[in-house]
Structure 1
Amino acid sequence: MDNKAKVEAVQKMQNFINENITNPITLSMLSKASGYSPWYSAKIFKELIGKSPFDYIRNIRLTKAAIKLRDENVKIVDVALDFVFDSHEGFTRAFSKQFGINPKKYSKETPPVKLFMSYPISHYYKTLEKGEDIVEKQNTIFVQVIERPARKLILKRGKTAKNYFEYCEDIDCESAWGILSSIKEALYEPMGMWLPENMIKEGTSSYAQGVEVPLDYNNEVPEGFDIIELKPCKIMIFQGEPYDDEEFLTAIDLLQDKIKSYDPKIYGFEWANEDAPRFQLEPWGYRGYIEGRPVRTIKK
């Protein structure tokens, strides 16, 4: 069985899990979804994902439960039952083991915790060629300028990284992303970013991951993370056409190539790289790849 077939089979199992996460899931069900035997389905799932199917399912359920407790006024027992735990006690034990805090305390204080981030398996396999279909689709780019208020940035720095893949070699990037995704006060979704020189600490990377929070943020800053203030600024947002998830690297390359040749002066702006980080949002095919760069209005 070649890698492509394995990826397709595991992707089918991931899709089934996502669609049925609040229902009982058995290995037999996953086997039917993948089209292979139960034993082989479990084997290739762990080979590619790094976890058994049921460890993976449990981690997703606990993460979704944490988000529900963070964002909604719900009873713990109801959340436990929603995510297929047999009892309040069993859920509390599993939650406490996963996040280092019991669900009752978490629902009241909502400190940053390490959420489990589950990605389509295709995101781990690089696109080797730029197919004609995606190149044709990426001829259209949506551009807009938005205002960012004064705010703070919670970020996890790397060591020497200049891009996402180097960053993941520097640190446990999935762990960092999970913690950033758990911050209740976040103004926007977490982002990967290229820091301007004035925001880089000596001996740390130019690429980092972070999330913006209000200027008056006073909750816990996760251990190993930094928090800095950002001034009000304008951000030029570039958004490409939707694409198939397995083509995410190609979609990124194509949009970044277009940004390099883009002249903001046509619309009365200039790059303002020192005002804020240049950032990229998590690449999801349904919305197209999104990247933002700080700009200033050209004074006349």
Structure 2
Amino acid sequence: MENWEKINAVQRMQDYIGEHINEPITLYILAKAAGYSPWHSGRVFKELIGKTLFEYIRDLRLSEAAIKIRDEDIKIIDVALDFAFDSHEGFTRAFSKYFGMTPKYYCKNTPPVKLFIPYRIRDYYLTLQRGEGTMKQNSNASTVFVQVVDRPARKMILKRGIRATHYFEYCEEVGCDIWGIISSIKESLYEPIGVWLPENMRMSGTSIYAQGVEVPMDYAGEIPEGFDIIDLPSCKMMVFQGQPYEDDKFEDAIGELWDVMKTYNPEVYGFRWADEDAPRFQLMPMGYRGYIEARPVRQVNI
């Protein structure tokens, strides 16, 4: 039986860290957010997250700093100060130890690195409590927005699993830190995705579900160790987007969208499903924009 008092306390600490990552953060401040003593706050956080508070804050700051270096024309010293490091030297030492390269080298070459992208502890335990496949069925689901978009010919860098058919099985097989690596690929065309691979894009002994990121056809960058790169032809994707939702209701939002997709007939709008053309994919659930999935289609000739 989960201890929701502890889970909610750790979530409050996570929320505070996320909102104040560019500011000095003390154990006393986090203990106040948690509602526990400083000693107990640190112990509970390590128990549920697997990292000490110091490790969590450091890893998150360095990962957000790496994204800033990758995406912006900014001086290393300014990045260091933005993320509450006292000096250029201290930031460089921490960055080099964590990523295995200096910030200067990373700025010039931007190879894929393992970014730390934390999960919300409350969402994790809600998922365990409800279980995959037991999402709320709602016959009065909110309106789902549907549109067809064109995807150009491209490649996808992906990490395959073994037998995984959905996200949680994939995390058990591969780990939950793959997202951090694919999020770091500078040349990505879109944000990272979880995908259900069609038979023609699977390898023998590998999973249906995988995670990856799409890159241009002429991508010549580094392929992270253990990843594959595959060609994806140009295609049309039918994108389904649900209504915004409260973050801790993400499973209900997914279930409602799946209900719509199961019964949706694209032929009414002049299309047919074309699952062999591309992977069906999901974006990371984010309450403010609604849950999003897409499935490949082809236009029906009339």
TM category (shorter chain) comes to over 0.9
Q: Which residue number corresponds to residue 33 of structure 2?
A: 33
1:37-76 aligned within 5 A: 37-76=37-76
Using the aligned pairs only, state the percent identity.
Answer: 63
Q: Which amino acid aligns with 2:227?
A: F
Give distance in 2, aligned partners of 1:118 and 1:139. Answer: 29
Unmatched 5+ residue regions in structure 2?
Answer: none
What SS class does the counterpart of residue 214 from structure 2 fall into? strand
Give distance in 2, aligned partners of 1:244 and 1:288. Answer: 9
Q: Shift of residue 250 of structure 1?
A: 2.3
Runs of 4 or more, structure 1, over 3 Å off, are: 129-132, 135-138
Q: Do the aligned residues in 1 keep the contact of 2:135 with 2:255 (CA within 8 Å)? A: no
**Larger deviation: 251-260 or 17-26?**
251-260
Q: Do the aligned residues in 2 keep the contact of 1:138 with 1:241 (CA within 8 Å)? A: no
Give distance in 2, aligned partners of 1:13 and 1:167. Answer: 27
What SS class does the counterpart of residue 70 from structure 2 fall into? helix
Q: Which residue number corresponds to residue 105 of structure 1?
A: 105
Unmatched 5+ residue regions in structure 1?
Answer: none
Q: Shift of residue 170 of structure 1?
A: 1.2
Give distance in 1, aligned partners of 2:176 and 2:23. Answer: 30
Q: Shift of residue 136 of structure 1?
A: 7.7
Task: Calculate the aligned-residue CA RMSD, in Å.
Answer: 1.7
1:228-267 aligned within 5 A: 228-267=230-269
Q: Shift of residue 2 of structure 1?
A: 5.8
1:77-116 aligned within 5 A: 77-116=77-116
Q: Which amino acid aligns with 1:45?
A: F
Q: Deviations over 1:77-96 (max 9, x none)?
A: 12111111122222111111
Matched, 1:150 2:153: yes
Q: Which residue number corresponds to residue 121 of structure 2?
A: 121
**Larger deviation: 22-31 or 33-42?**
33-42
Q: Which residue number corresponds to residue 273 of structure 1?
A: 275
1:108-187 aligned within 5 A: 108-125=108-125, 126=127, 128=130, 135=138, 138-174=141-177, 176-187=178-189
Q: Deviations over 1:54-79 (max 9, x none)?
A: 11000010001101111111111121
Aligned residue pair count: 297
Q: Do the aligned residues in 1 keep the contact of 2:160 with 2:211 (CA within 8 Å)? A: yes
Q: Deviations over 1:206-240 (max 9, x none)?
A: 11001001111111111111111111100001111
Give distance in 2, aligned partners of 1:91 and 1:138. Answer: 48
Give TM-score, length-normalised by structure 1.
0.95
What SS class does the counterpart of residue 80 from structure 1 fall into? helix
Q: Which residue number corresponds to residue 195 of structure 1?
A: 197
Give TM-score, length-normalised by structure 2.
0.94
Q: Do the aligned residues in 2 keep the contact of 1:9 with 1:34 (CA within 8 Å)? A: yes
What SS class does the counterpart of residue 105 from structure 1 fall into? helix
Q: Do the aligned residues in 1 keep the contact of 2:11 with 2:122 (CA within 8 Å)? A: yes
Give distance in 2, aligned partners of 1:130 and 1:168. Answer: 19
Q: Shift of residue 119 of structure 1?
A: 2.0
Q: Which residue number corresponds to residue 219 of structure 1?
A: 221
Give distance in 2, aligned partners of 1:44 and 1:84. Answer: 25
What SS class does the counterpart of residue 173 from structure 1 fall into? coil
Give distance in 1, aligned partners of 2:279 and 2:2. Answer: 40
Q: Shift of residue 25 of structure 1?
A: 0.2
Q: Do the aligned residues in 2 keep the contact of 1:122 with 1:245 (CA within 8 Å)? A: no
